[in-house]
């Protein structure tokens, strides 16, 4: 395993050097993926008040946050990240911390994330609250997010739409085979007050290439149109990819599964040098004029969980529909985000 990781890092460095050489004569400020050589479930957000990015990620049993001035070289900031929460042995939050979501809600920073007890496959979703003004300050446990599901549940995220709060998560729930997406209205930051609906399960051929998995939901807004990007297939394979769910008010009640339209194929999938792209977050350029997708992918096909690295790239819109294009290759020069000041 160590030899494989060394080879992957060496290849990343080589591809980065090639990319820099190819773009040397261009004059335009550019960057190259990966922005961090290792990492999964990346969550990057821009805070207008602090005029910087914050990157939230997990280790085996902790949650960390880094202040990031230049996300295109995210790897430089990870050594200065702060441990904002650590698990407690023997508790429900012992190990396998996953999928953090750093959100500012009513002026306070919160983190939704997944954790397990020391018993295998007992993953649940929890909420942390910042005890200070900055998300690099310490966080305290608010509690478990109670969805009414007693079984394995992961990847929870909260969003606001029409003045109401909703929660979306992935679970081995009672309404579908495999891991599926569920959604409910929230009456507090840790509880729901409606029956969960089955939002999406792996029913299409492209979702069934490797296991029955729909996970990693992430909201994206364009006016009144709400999208939820999600990751399909086994995350340890090259088949991992993004699908898209779309809701518009004229389609019906937001908690009616029939009011949602699911993409009939992946909207972001493997290419050479960027395989298994998934579990993304969305952010903007510092000046707010550009939209970015942040995700993990693999340079070397077949390397699965151990070979993931963090990427970001701009995407565009066709009306109210996002156009993600293809994952950028590691040697591909990309313009830096608009409004970003680089050294």
pLDDT bin (cut points 50, 70, 90) of residue 299 is: very high
Is 60 exceeded by the pLDDT of residue 146?
yes
Residue 13: the pLDDT is: 53
Separation CA 229–CA 216 (nearest Å): 8
All domains of the chain, ordered by start, with CATH?
2-335 (2.115.10.20)
Residue-wise pLDDT for 58-75, tens only, equals: 999 999 999 999 999 999
Number of helices (H) and strands (E), helices first, in the chain?
1, 23
pLDDT, tens digit, 9 for 90 and up, residues 191-213: 999 999 999 999 999 999 999 99
User: Is 0.85 surpassed by the pTM of this model?
Assistant: yes
Distance of CA 34 to CAs 9, 220, 221, 291, Å? 11, 23, 26, 18
Q: Is 24 exposed, middle or buried (0-12, 13-18, 19+ CB in 10 A)?
A: exposed
For residues 312 and 293, is the Cβ–Cβ distance under 8 A?
A: yes
| Statement: residue 20 has pLDDT above 70 | no
Among residues 204, 35, 40, 65, the alpha carbon closest in space to that of 130 is found at 65
**Is the pLDDT confidence value at 254 over 90?**
yes
**Computed from CA positions of residues 104, 224, 312, 304, in that sequence, does the dihedral angle turn out positive or negative?**
positive
Average pLDDT over residues 117-135: 94
User: Is residue 129 within 8 Å of 110, Cβ to Cβ?
Assistant: yes
- Mean pLDDT of all residues in 260-289: 98
Q: In what order do the strands lie in the sheet with 62-68?
A: 43-47, 52-58, 62-68, 82-86
Counting residues of the chain whose pLDDT is more than 70, the rounded percentage is: 92
Mean pLDDT rounded to a whole number for the chain: 93
| HSE (side-chain half, CA atoms, 13 Å) at 295 | 32
Residue 52 scores a pLDDT above 90:
yes
């Amino acid at each position: 395993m160590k030899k494989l990781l060394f080879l992957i890092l060496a290849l990343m460095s080589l591809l980065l050097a090639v990319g820099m050489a190819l773009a040397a004569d261009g004059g335009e400020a550019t960057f190259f993926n990966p922005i961090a050589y290792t990492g999964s479930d990346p969550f990057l957000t821009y805070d207008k008040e602090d005029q910087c990015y914050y990157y939230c990620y997990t280790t085996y049993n902790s949650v960390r946050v880094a202040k990031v001035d230049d996300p295109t070289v995210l790897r430089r900031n990870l050594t200065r990240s702060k441990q904002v929460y650590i698990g407690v042995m023997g508790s429900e939050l012992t190990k396998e911390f996953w999928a953090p979501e750093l959100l500012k809600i009513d002026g306070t920073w919160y983190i939704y994330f997944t954790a397990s007890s020391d018993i295998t496959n007992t993953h649940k979703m929890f909420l942390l609250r910042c005890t200070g003004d900055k998300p690099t300050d310490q966080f305290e446990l608010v509690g478990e997010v109670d969805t009414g599901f007693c079984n394995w549940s992961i990847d929870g995220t909260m969003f606001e739409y029409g003045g109401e709060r909703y929660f979306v998560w992935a679970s081995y729930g009672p309404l579908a085979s495999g891991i599926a997406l569920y959604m409910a209205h929230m009456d507090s930051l840790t509880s729901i007050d409606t029956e969960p609906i089955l939002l999406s399960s792996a029913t299409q051929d492209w979702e069934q290439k490797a296991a029955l998995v729909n996970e990693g939901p992430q909201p994206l807004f364009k006016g009144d149109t709400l999208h939820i990007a999600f990751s399909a297939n086994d995350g340890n394979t090259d088949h991992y990819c993004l699908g898209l769910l779309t809701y518009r008010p004229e389609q019906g009640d937001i908690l009616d599964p029939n009011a949602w339209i699911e993409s009939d194929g992946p909207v972001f999938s493997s290419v050479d040098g960027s395989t298994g792209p998934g579990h993304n977050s969305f952010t903007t350029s510092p000046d707010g004029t550009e939209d970015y997708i942040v995700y993990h992918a693999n340079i070397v096909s077949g390397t699965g969980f151990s070979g993931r690295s963090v990427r970001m790239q701009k995407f565009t819109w066709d009306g109210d529909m996002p156009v993600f294009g293809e994952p950028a290759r590691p040697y591909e020069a990309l313009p830096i985000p608009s409004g970003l000041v680089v050294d």
